[in-house]
Amino acid sequence: MAIVLYHHPFSRAANTVWMLEEVGVEYELKLVDIMAGDQKKEDVTKLNPMGKLPLLVDGATVVTESAAIGLYLAVCYAPGRLAPKLDDAARGTYFRWSLFAPSVIEPGSMGQGRQLGVSRRLRRLGQLRRHDRDDGIGHLWP
């Protein structure tokens, strides 16, 4: 059975698609329209009570959190290629840098962004884009 990725192109699930391609496994995408709030519907929340993407289902295994999904795919499907083998001393460095962005950079930049009012500015920019776009996908912008 193919891996299923609950996905929206303007979300962190895009990184997971990249990872799936790197790993080279079969997968199918299940589009969840986060602009319409579909990530809070039961088919998603019964698998991820936080109602967020990405969400990966591999048979009986459910994985959420984009970094965890990347590590899961590398360790399970590309050991020795995209993840060091179990006896490789490089595993410490591998896990450190794999988790550096979500555990250090992201919380720091979110805090800075809040102080600077970035999300308010981005929302305003989104409004401008929504009205200016004529390519038919303007409604997908936040």
In sequence order, what DSSP letters do the residues of 7-44 get, joined into one string? E-TTSTHHHHHHHHHHHT--EEEEE--GGGTGGGSHHH
Q: Rule CB under 6 A: say whether 48 interacts with ligand GSH.
A: no
The helix (run of H) or strand (run of E) holding residue 6 is: strand 3-7
d(CA 49, CA 85): 32
CB 138 to ligand GSH: min, Å: 19
Of the listed pieces 18-26, 46-54, 79-87, 91-99, which binds ligand GSH according to CB under 6 A?
Answer: 46-54
The number of beta carbons lying within 10 Å of the beta carbon of residue 103 is: 12
Q: Rule CB under 6 A: say whether 53 interacts with ligand GSH.
A: yes
Site track for ligand GSH across 5-44, x = CB under 6 A:
------xx---------------------x----x-----
CB 63 to ligand GSH: min, Å: 10
Q: What contacts 38, CB < 8 A, 6 or more positions away? A: 32, 44
Question: Would you call 11 a catalytic residue per the annotation?
Answer: yes
Question: Would you name the residues annotated as active-site residues?
Answer: 11
Residues that bind ligand GSH (CB under 6 A): 11-12, 34, 39, 51-54, 65-66, 102
